[in-house]
Amino acid sequence: MKKMITLFTLLITVLILISCTATKNADIVTTMFPQYDFATQIVKNKLTVSLLLPPGVEAHAYESTSKDLVTIEESKLFIFTSLDIDTWIKDPKSLGGDQTVIMNLSEHYILEEHEHDDLGAIENIGEHEDEDELHFWVDPVIAMQLLDAILEEIVQIDPENETFYRTNAEIYYEELQDLHESFDTFMQSGYIDVDIFFAGHNALGLFGKRYHLHIESLFESFKPDADLTSSELISFTEIIKQAGVHILFIEELAEPKAADQITNELAKEQYDLEIFELHAYHNLTKKDLEDGVRYADLLERNIEFIKQALNNNND
């Protein structure tokens, strides 16, 4: 009798665990923050959206787990960034279940010509070969294209809520468009072809090209969380002083060890230098994710920091 009770209890426990696991299966699975945010803003509470990348984790260092593969297989829509970014994906067709739609985000945008007077346009129009284009989502104009593309895929998997999804997408699209147009107007008011300085790998090349903003990287190949040599420290501090800048940008989720070294060294000469984050939208901190921070919020944050830097340089 005791054995039967024990077996019955074990069976109930297993069924509960299975039930709990089933409720966690997401309708839409994403590999990186931009598509997670766009999908979330479109579907709201109609569908569930999952982000495979844990908060605070560097996107390029991510490796999938067997649990992730099961999550993808049981989803209705799987959105990955590109084969160059999501290097753990070898064969997209092998992922997902029979009903899973696989979406390669890098196949859903066009790099449009964008000119200001005689400054020229972005090169390699219509091609995705440029190094900057690895991070195509940082350009707000492209981001709006991605939002539209994701909308169409969502409508395909849940046509019953099409009107709801299109309304949400339109609202978010207009918000992104307003931010883009406002910043574009600001840049054209006297800031075309100006410089800001960045410590680390610059993933915002297309953002810079979009607004004709030069993002000068002090050390592209150097890890921002590593120590600078004395010669590097001297070189970088001289560059900053000669440029007369007082704001240095760093990438998100990076320890600003090198930037802090530069700041401290300049402080010895009574030269003030502030450190600001320039976000490339790869991933969020745990706090930002819990606070519901969106792509639009990060874009607005970037814009405000850049404006502050440019106004500071003019003082």
Q: In whole angstroms, how far apart are CA 81 and each of 36, 134, 142, 176, 264? A: 11, 9, 13, 20, 38
| CATH class in words for 191-314 | alpha beta
Give φ, ψ of 91 to 5 degrees. -135, 95
**Cα 296 versus chain centre, distance:** 11
pLDDT of residue 21: 36
Q: Quote the pLDDT of residue 24.
A: 57
The pTM of this model reads 0.85
Distance CA 174, CA 171 (A): 5
Q: What are phi and psi of 125, to 5 degrees?
A: -60, 130
Say if 21-179 and 191-314 have the same CATH topology. Answer: yes
Kindly list the domain boundaries of the chain, sorted by start residue. Answer: 21-179, 191-314
Q: How far apart are CA 235 and CA 266, in angstroms?
A: 12
Tokens (6 digits) for 235: 């070189």
Query: CA–CA separation, 195 vs 224, rounded Å?
Result: 20
- State the Cα–Cα distance between residues 137 and 130, nearest whole angstrom: 14
Question: What are the angstrom distances between the C-alpha of 222 and each of 56, 80, 112, 200?
Answer: 20, 28, 32, 6
**pLDDT tens digit at each of 315 positions of the chain:** 545 545 554 554 444 444 333 335 899 999 999 999 999 999 999 999 999 999 988 887 788 999 999 999 999 999 999 999 999 999 999 998 999 999 999 999 998 765 444 433 333 333 434 677 899 999 999 999 999 999 999 999 999 999 999 999 999 999 999 999 999 999 999 999 999 999 877 899 999 999 999 999 887 665 656 778 898 899 999 999 998 999 999 988 877 888 899 999 999 999 999 999 999 999 999 999 999 999 999 999 999 999 999 987 655
Fold of domain 21-179: Rossmann fold (3.40.50)
State the pLDDT at residue 23: 38
Q: Are 77 and 92 in contact (CB under 8 A)?
A: no
User: What is the spatial distance between Cα 84 and Cα 188, in angstroms, rounded to a whole number?
Assistant: 33
